[in-house]
């Protein structure tokens, strides 16, 4: 698997660690293969880590075209049609579209 | 309409293929900590198909290994005893239950939804510091009653599928109307028959109507919400998939905020394809 070094500020789209992240005493903080979430990236930044080794496919996928908002909302209405018909509240119906569209929470 | 009595369902479930001895032992040892790595590796190696599947799953990006895991001893040393046991149990169950012929039953979609729910239940368990191993197994098996009903009563279950398609209703309601019973009840019967722990049996029985004895989230709450998320994320690949009603009680006990939900969505989706391939190949 090929890997590249990526600056921590360029990781907004996430990514998968190609090498483990080690602490000052050499202890493994994160194993290779860890999927980087916003929360993980933020804690690494606080530890002063500036560069990470990232698997290349994740980076190559990053600039893929944004999902179509109309399509996402239409599909969610189909999947959640029982909640819509019955009027039963389902918070997931509100959380999934912004997640799919990459909007800020 | 084919009404099934409780006795018929019990008898049908008893006729399902028995699980390999290794899988039964693994199930019985879930939640116990007194099994050694050596014993576990020996047990798994008795069933070579299971051993191969376990290694394949250990090598999938599910566990994010940077080097190839080539032996069961390696897998145990690197992944840990609990994880290997969970992986082997999952692999063993998936192997046994790929059976049956029921018109309209989409086996591939069934297992894909089960894998998505397993990953999601595990993610929720991690977020709430509950047992991840048991959560994964419960997620994988939550709908096993559907497979059991479709395998034991293929003609009757084909009517359920036809009714559901004609009326676009919830599968659970179609089962209750056509058969007089449902997959949650059948799932509890079969997991009881396979001697799963009572906590697992009850979580499966209650996955559409979860219950908790306290204010804290139960295993049933986890799998209920995970099932909703797996349907909501559209992971089974079925055009007419439908998200079942969400229990607001379970939702409040779990108390997930939007940020946590997104982490769970992402965690589930990032592992989903590789686990499907490893487990269902």
* Distance in angstroms (rounded) separating the CA atoms of residues B131 and B142: 16
Asked if A85 is an interface residue toward chain B (Cβ–Cβ < 8 A), one would say: no
pLDDT values of chain A reduced to their tens digit, one per residue, 105 residues: 566 667 777 776 667 888 777 776 667 788 888 888 888 888 888 877 777 777 764 333 444 566 788 899 999 999 999 999 999 999 999 999 999 998 876
pLDDT at B61: 62
Identify the residue whose tokens are 């997104």: B262
Which of B61, B168, B262 faces A99 most closely, judged by CB atoms? B262
What is the per-residue DSSP string for A17-41? BSS-EE-TTS-EEE-TTPBPPHHHH
Tokens encoding B33: 């900590």
CB within 8 Å: A79 and B228: no
Tokens encoding B222: 């986890």
Task: Please tell me the number of Cα atoms within 13 Å of B141 on its side-chain side.
Answer: 36
Sign for the CA dihedral angle at B256, B262, B263, B265 comes to positive
* Distance in angstroms (rounded) separating the CA atoms of residues B205 and B71: 37
pLDDT at B55: 80
pLDDT values of chain B reduced to their tens digit, one per residue, 281 residues: 678 887 888 888 777 767 777 777 777 776 666 777 777 778 778 777 777 777 877 777 666 666 677 777 777 766 667 667 767 777 777 666 655 578 888 888 998 999 999 999 999 999 999 988 889 889 988 998 998 888 888 889 999 999 999 999 999 999 999 999 999 999 999 888 877 889 999 999 999 999 888 888 999 999 999 999 999 999 998 889 999 999 999 999 999 999 999 999 999 999 898 888 877 76
pLDDT at A58: 35
pLDDT at B66: 62
CB within 8 Å: A90 and B65: no
ipTM: 0.84
pLDDT at B210: 93
pLDDT at A59: 36
Per the CB < 8 A criterion, the answer to whether B118 and B90 are in contact is yes
**Nearest-CA neighbor of A53 among A31, A37, A38?**
A31
Asked if A95 is an interface residue toward chain B (Cβ–Cβ < 8 A), one would say: yes
Asked if A37 is an interface residue toward chain B (Cβ–Cβ < 8 A), one would say: yes
DSSP strand pairing (A3-7 vs A21-22)? unpaired
Burial B233-263 (b: 16+ CB within 10 A, else e): bbbbeeeebbbbbbbeebbebbebeeebbbb
* Distance in angstroms (rounded) separating the CA atoms of residues B69 and B219: 31
Nearest-Cα distance to chain B for A38, in Å, is: 9
pLDDT at A8: 77
Question: Taking the model in full, what pTM does it have?
Answer: 0.75
Nearest-Cα distance to chain B for A2, in Å, is: 11
* Domain boundaries defined on chain A: 2-56, 69-100
Residue in A58, A81, A96 to test binding to B, most B beta-carbons within 10 Å: A96
* Distance in angstroms (rounded) separating the CA atoms of residues B121 and B119: 6
Per the CB < 8 A criterion, the answer to whether B79 and B63 are in contact is yes
Contacts of B61 in chain A (CB under 8 A): 16, 33
| CATH topology assigned to domain A2-56 | Molybdopterin biosynthesis moea protein, domain 2 (3.90.105)
């Amino acid at each position: 698997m090929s890997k590249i070094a990526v600056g921590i500020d360029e990781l907004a789209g996430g990514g998968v660690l190609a090498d483990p992240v080690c602490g000052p005493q050499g202890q493994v903080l994160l194993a290779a293969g860890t999927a980087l979430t916003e929360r993980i990236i933020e804690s690494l930044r606080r530890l002063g880590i500036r560069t990470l080794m990232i698997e290349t496919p994740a980076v190559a996928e990053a600039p893929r075209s944004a999902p179509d908002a109309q399509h996402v909302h239409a599909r969610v209405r189909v999947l959640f049609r029982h909640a819509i018909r019955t009027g039963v509240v389902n918070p997931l119906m509100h959380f999934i579209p912004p997640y799919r569209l990459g909007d800020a929470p | 309409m084919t009404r099934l009595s409780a006795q018929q369902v019990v008898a049908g479930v008893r006729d399902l293929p028995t699980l390999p001895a290794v899988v039964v032992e693994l199930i019985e040892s879930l939640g116990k900590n007194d099994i050694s790595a050596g014993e576990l590796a020996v047990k798994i190696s008795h069933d070579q198909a299971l051993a191969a599947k376990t290694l394949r799953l250990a090598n999938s990006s599910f566990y994010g290994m940077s080097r190839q895991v080539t032996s069961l001893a390696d897998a145990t040393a690197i992944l840990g005893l609990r994880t290997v046991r969970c992986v082997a149990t999952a692999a063993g169950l998936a192997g046994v239950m790929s059976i049956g012929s029921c018109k309209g039953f989409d086996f591939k979609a069934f297992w894909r939804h089960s894998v998505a729910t397993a990953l999601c239940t595990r993610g929720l368990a991690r977020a709430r510091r509950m047992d991840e191993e048991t959560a994964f197994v419960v997620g994988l098996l939550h709908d096993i009653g559907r497979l059991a009903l479709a395998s034991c009563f293929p003609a009757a279950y084909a009517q359920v599928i036809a009714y559901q398609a004609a009326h676009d209703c919830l599968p659970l309601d179609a089962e209750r109307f056509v058969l007089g019973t449902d997959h949650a009840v059948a799932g509890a019967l079969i997991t009881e028959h396979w001697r799963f722990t009572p906590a697992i049996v009850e979580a499966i029985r209650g996955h559409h109507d979860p219950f908790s004895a306290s204010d804290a989230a139960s295993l049933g709450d986890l799998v209920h919400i995970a099932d909703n998320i797996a349907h909501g994320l559209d992971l089974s690949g079925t055009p007419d998939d439908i998200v079942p009603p969400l229990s607001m009680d379970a939702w409040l006990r779990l108390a997930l905020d939007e940020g946590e939900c997104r982490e769970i969505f992402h965690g589930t989706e990032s592992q989903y394809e590789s686990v499907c391939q490893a487990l269902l190949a």
